[in-house]
Amino acid sequence: MQAAGAAMKLLQGKRGLSRAQSAPGDCPQFSRDEVLAWLKEEEAWKLDFLWENADRVRREHVGDQIHLRGLIELSSYCRRDCHYCGIRGSRKIERYRMTEEEVTDCVRLGVQLGYGTVVLQAGEDSGLPRERITRHVHFIKAETPLAVTLSLGERSGEELTEWREAGADRYLLRHETSDSALFHRIHPDCGSERSDRIELLRRLKRLGYEVGSGVMVGIPGQSYESLANDIMLFRELDLDMVGVGPYLAHPDTPLGRDAAALALPAGEQVPATDVMTTKVIALTRLTCPDANIPATTALATVNNENGRELGLERGANVWMPNLTPVKYRKLYEIYPDKACVGDTAAACQACLLQRIESIGRVPGKGPGSRKRSGTS
């Protein structure tokens, strides 16, 4: 583990990441080999050191506020047929599409609960035309103080341009893995279209969006080397938000039924655990110190006792409570047993505020945009 030794020297040496030596603003510029070594690290005392320093860099670069982004799942229709997703287009399931009035009610509830952002999310649904999303964005920006994040999949340049001009602040599109071969094994193309999400992320940057992306941890066939490449790509793309969650497949999907066919041999396959996920969160914080990083619902699902808290204590600074009406949430079943699926947003509010306070943090104020290091 020569690279692990080098990484420890980096944490303890000139860059001042030990408790005694740390200075505000210090954070490591990891090499890929050092990231890889940390992903493979299993010694508890070394991981405690990693968690501690990720939390320190989080505190120094983005502060103690936990920004609340209210999630509205507009529609469970999707034209894609991803091999792990419960709302894949070929599944024969009950689907829904929220009315515009229902979306407006959810937005107003987000304002009442003090959230700084709403996230309009859906499958790739052609029944949500460009004009309708534009109306939602216009309403939110004209009538509320909220920032608008869109998470609507791979959409055309015309749509993305119009929504940005209407006032949308951010776009979230997870690339899931930077390993192109693995991506295309689990994400079939739509007809003659071939996905290039990394290029689409660059286009979103050029349009002026704050851009969020991220990966699943533990995809069958995902190697440690591939995951290290993902973390380096976060830095290369200069992402404003990075979402990292454990891989969870719906059992009624090709990968849910036969993940073993794609998995790598023991010792080479990345596990989809809370520990591995929070390693990636911590390394992402150390590599991208001023990015916004959520403690995801998927992390809370694999560890329903304190998964979110672990994420928040190991580098994360965003919580995404669900504003979607309860009657629709079970129909947006990307994976089963999702955390908090049966609780209304109002019922969740007291719980999440108590949990935020329990770890010595405070709810965020305002939209919570990325503040780059060195800017006021």
Q: Does the residue 60 lie in any domain?
A: yes
H-run or E-run covering 309: helix 307-313
Tell me whether residue 374 is in a domain: no
pLDDT for residue 367 is more than 70: yes
When divided into structural domains, the chain yields a total of 1
Residue closest to 68 by CA, chosen among 318, 337, 361: 318
Under a CB-based contact definition with an 8 Å cutoff, are residues 289 and 234 in contact?
no
CA nearest neighbour of 119 among 150, 140, 141, 165:
150
Nearest CA to 20 among 11, 29, 28? Answer: 11
CB 40 within 8 A of CB 224: yes
* Separation of alpha carbons 230 and 175, rounded Å: 9
Convert the pLDDT of each residue in 156-214 to its tens digit.
999 999 999 999 999 999 999 999 999 999 999 887 788 899 999 999 999 999 999 99
Look at residue 369 and tell me if it is in a domain.
no
297, 320 contact by CB (below 8 A) = yes
- The span from the CA of 254 to the CA of 251, in Å, is 8
- Rounded to the nearest 10 degrees, the angle between the axes of helix 224-237 and helix 32-40 is 130
Pick from 66, 69, 65: which is nearest to 322 by CA? 69
Q: Which of 183, 62, 60, 163 is nearest to 120 (CA)?
A: 163
Question: Going by C-beta distance under 8 Å and a sequence separation of 6 or more, which residues neighbour residue 335?
Answer: 84, 85, 86, 248, 249, 250, 298, 301
Q: Is residue 375 part of a domain?
A: no
pLDDT in tens, 80-132: 999 999 999 999 999 999 999 999 999 999 999 999 999 999 999 999 999 99
Its domain, for residue 81, covers 2-363
State residue 373's pLDDT score. Answer: 74
pLDDT band at 77 (very low <50, low <70, confident <90, very high): very high
Give the per-residue pLDDT at 105: 97
The CATH number of whichever domain residue 319 belongs to comes to: 3.20.20.70
- 328: which 2 tokens? 């629709």
Q: How confident is the model at residue 6 (pLDDT cuts 50, 70, 90)?
A: very low
C-beta of residue 68 within 8 angstroms of C-beta of residue 74: no
User: Residue 30's pLDDT is what?
Assistant: 83
| pLDDT at residue 326 tops 60 | yes
Q: Tell me the pLDDT tens digit for each residue of 229-251.
A: 999 999 999 999 999 999 999 99
Tens-digit pLDDT profile for residues 247-264: 999 999 999 999 888 999
Separation of alpha carbons 87 and 54, rounded Å: 35
Burial of 46 (0-12, 13-18, 19+ CB in 10 A): middle
What pLDDT sits at residue 8?
A: 47
Per-residue pLDDT at 26: 53
Percent of the chain with pLDDT over 90: 83
Q: Which of 275, 351, 285, 337 is nearest to 307 (CA)?
A: 275
Three-state secondary structure call for residue 29: coil
Give domain status of residue 373, yes or no. no
Considering the chain, what is the average pLDDT of its residues? 91
> Helix H segments across 71-173?
100-112, 130-143, 157-166
Note the pLDDT of residue 142: 98
Look at residue 372 and tell me if it is in a domain: no
Asked if residue 110 is part of any domain, the answer here is yes
CB of 66 within 8 A of CB of 115? no
Q: Which residue has the higher pLDDT, 343 or 45?
A: 45
Q: Is residue 17 part of a domain?
A: yes
